[in-house]
């Protein structure tokens, strides 16, 4: 075990790094930025394990460059930037870090919802620009969150955490998932078809994973179903929303506003969205609290160590790779 090599794509927290050093040597990238595929391929040529963040791409070329690679332990819930099929074909285990970022991401969903409804970012810019000369009756009027209808698309861990927070705001909660969820009744959430949810909700929050079925889930047709007074919040994955269609709907005042933490082609953002006041944009920071990022790094390290020790990691996302052993 002492000869094992582990490469981490960011300067990893020392507590998590100490877990890895129990089983091998650890090399970390000196910066947090995404490494080009060629540079990452060179970094993992002799590696037994790779720990990337959810924002770092691991294409087939990187996997092919590392003949000894045994595990890719993603420090994120989403692992869509890893070519899981290529890893599975090689018998490489892929893991993620579910659960540890649930509450933090739900907090950000609420922050976006409150910020866009109450025009917090617009108000901040207004004050900083020296435009505030006193309180007037209609200055920066927004919309109430309390006692409105919240529509949650995807009642998984994060969706349920969002629903729990709605209780304190006296909100009516409706949700849509592939199937009705037995936990929904305890959350006060009522199942709706996607169409009915979009038509009823004052706030639509997206918390579904990115899959072939959810890619482009919200486009021109779906936005047309929403109320002109409704808001769209996305803390899931960018490609779930057609950004061009969203920008067009916002320009036409077809919906009232949007709060987005994720984008179709990160870090690029559709330029029309950047020009709109009724959109709050954050740079994929759903899990960005100090405690949560440490928990994610620790969980990824633990998954990595378990895999290197020849045991099945708890957060395995490609069980076919394990069955092939």
Catalytic residues: 237, 266, 284
Q: Please state, in angstroms and rounded to a whole number, the distance separating the CA atoms of residues 52 and 150.
A: 34
Q: Please state, in angstroms and rounded to a whole number, the distance separating the CA atoms of residues 153 and 102.
A: 15
Q: Are 174 and 152 in contact (CB under 8 A)?
A: yes
The CA angle 106-112-177, to the nearest 5 degrees, is 50
Per-residue burial over 105-132, b if 16 or more Cβ lie within 10 Å, else e, is: bbbbbbbbbbbbbbbbbbeeeeeeeeee
Q: Are 145 and 166 in contact (CB under 8 A)?
A: no
Q: For residue 96, give the nearest of 294, 318, 290 by alpha carbon.
A: 318
Listed in sequence order, the residues at least 6 apart from 110 whose beta carbon sits closer than 8 Å to its beta carbon are: 162, 165
Q: What is the dihedral of CA 54, 60, 62, 64, to 10 degrees?
A: 140
Q: Are 155 and 181 in contact (CB under 8 A)?
A: yes
Q: Tokens 């599975």: give the residue.
A: 88
């Amino acid at each position: 075990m002492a000869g094992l090599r582990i490469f981490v794509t960011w300067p990893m927290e020392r507590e998590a790094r100490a877990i890895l050093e129990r089983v091998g040597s650890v090399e970390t990238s000196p910066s947090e930025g995404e490494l080009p595929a060629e540079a990452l391929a060179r970094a993992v040529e002799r590696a037994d394990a790779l720990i990337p963040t959810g924002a770092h791409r691991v294409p087939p070329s990187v996997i092919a460059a590392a003949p000894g690679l045994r595990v890719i332990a993603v420090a994120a819930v989403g692992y869509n930037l890893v070519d899981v099929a290529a890893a599975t074909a090689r018998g490489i285990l892929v893991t993620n870090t579910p659960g540890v970022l649930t509450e933090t991401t739900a907090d950000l969903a609420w922050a976006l919802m409150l910020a866009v409804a109450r025009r917090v970012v617009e108000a901040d810019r207004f004050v900083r620009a020296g435009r505030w000369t006193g309180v007037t009756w209609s200055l920066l009027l927004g919309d109430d969150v309390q006692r409105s209808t919240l529509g949650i698309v995807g009642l998984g861990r994060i969706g349920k955490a969002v629903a729990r927070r709605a209780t304190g705001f006296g909100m009516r909660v409706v949700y849509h998932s592939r199937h009705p969820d037995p936990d929904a009744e305890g959350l006060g959430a009522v199942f709706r078809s996607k169409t009915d949810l979009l038509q009823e909700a004052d706030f639509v929050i997206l918390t579904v994973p990115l899959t072939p079925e959810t890619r482009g889930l919200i486009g021109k047709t779906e936005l047309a179903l929403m109320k002109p007074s409704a808001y769209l919040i996305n803390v899931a994955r960018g490609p779930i929303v057609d950004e061009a269609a969203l920008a067009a709907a916002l320009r036409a005042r077809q919906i009232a506003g949007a709060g987005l933490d994720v984008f179709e082609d990160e870090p690029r953002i559709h330029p029309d969205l950047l020009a709109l006041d009724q959109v709050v944009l954050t740079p994929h920071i759903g899990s960005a609290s100090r405690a949560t990022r440490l928990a994610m790094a620790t969980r990824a390290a633990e998954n990595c160590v378990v895999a290197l020790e020849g045991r099945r990691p708890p957060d395995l996302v490609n069980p076919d790779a394990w069955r092939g052993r």
